[in-house]
Amino acid sequence: MKDVLTTCVYCGCGCGVYLHEDQGRICGAFPSRNHPVSRNNLCVKGWNIHEFIHHPARLTEPLLRKAGHLTPVSWDEALTYTATRLTEIRDQTANQGLGVLSSAKCTNEENYLLQKFTRAVLKTNNIDQCARL
């Protein structure tokens, strides 16, 4: 059982929130008392932030469309298929045919890696995210 301080994943306020873990499950959330934004307060989304984490609908294995259906496959198969197809399309379209959407919900490091991947490997600047939506 432990409480870990992290940053809320909802709006741009960026509250400091503690996640309460018990036997490998996140079962509660409460605000940081001294965090400059949250100051011992959370909105309703923050108080209930733990509820989606263990939801049974969470994706837990890679899926590949086979004969029209998304079918569970290994990471190796999913990654190899994706890499092969991305390479083919990149080369066939002279680096013009691929587009990437990054995420305003992912971390800075992940956004950095994805734009690096897009520019250095896919050889395009076609990358954007939902900042305007």
Partner 1 sequence: MTNSINEIAQAQVILVSGSNTTEAHPQVARRMFDAIDRGAKLIVIDPRRTRLAEHAHIHLAIRPGSDIPLLNAMMRIILDENLADDLFIEMRTENYHALRDMLYQLDLDETAEITGVPLAKISAAAQLYARAQKAVVCYCLGVTQHICGTNNVQSIANLAMLTGHVEKEFTGVDPLRGQNNVQGACDMGALPGHFPSYQPVNTAEYRTKFEQAWGTELSGTPGLSLMEMTHSGPQGAIRGMLIMGENPMLSDPNLKKVEATLKNLDLLVVSDIFLTETAALADVVFPAASFAEKTGTFTNSERRVQMVRQVIPPLGSCRSDGEIIMALSQVMGYDMRYESMAEVMEEIALLAPIYGGMFHDRIEGCWGLQWPCWNRDHAGTSFLHKYYFTRGRGHFVPATHEAAAELPDADFPFILNTGRVYHQYHTGTMTRQSSSLNREASEALLEVNPQDAARLGLRTGDWVELSSRRGSATVKAHITEQVAKGSVYTSFHFPAVAINLLTSDARDPKAQCPEYKVSAVRLEKINP
**H-run or E-run covering 20:** strand 16-22
Backbone region of residue 115 per phi and psi (left: phi > 0; alpha: psi in -120 to 50; beta: other values): alpha
Q: Is 57 in the site for partner 1 (CB under 8 A)?
A: yes
Q: Is 33 in the site for partner 1 (CB under 8 A)?
A: no
Q: Is 27 in the site for partner 1 (CB under 8 A)?
A: no
Identified binder of partner 1 from the candidate list 1, 24, 67, 69, rule CB under 8 A = 24
Nearer to partner 1, 6 or 30 (CB): 6
Residue numbers 101-130 binding partner 1 by CB under 8 A: 101-130
Identified binder of partner 1 from the candidate list 1, 36, 67, 69, rule CB under 8 A = 36
Q: Which residue has the tokens 């929130």?
A: 17
Q: Is 40 in the site for partner 1 (CB under 8 A)?
A: no
How far apart are alpha carbons 21 and 16 in whole angstroms?
Answer: 16
How far apart are alpha carbons 5 and 57 in whole angstroms?
Answer: 26
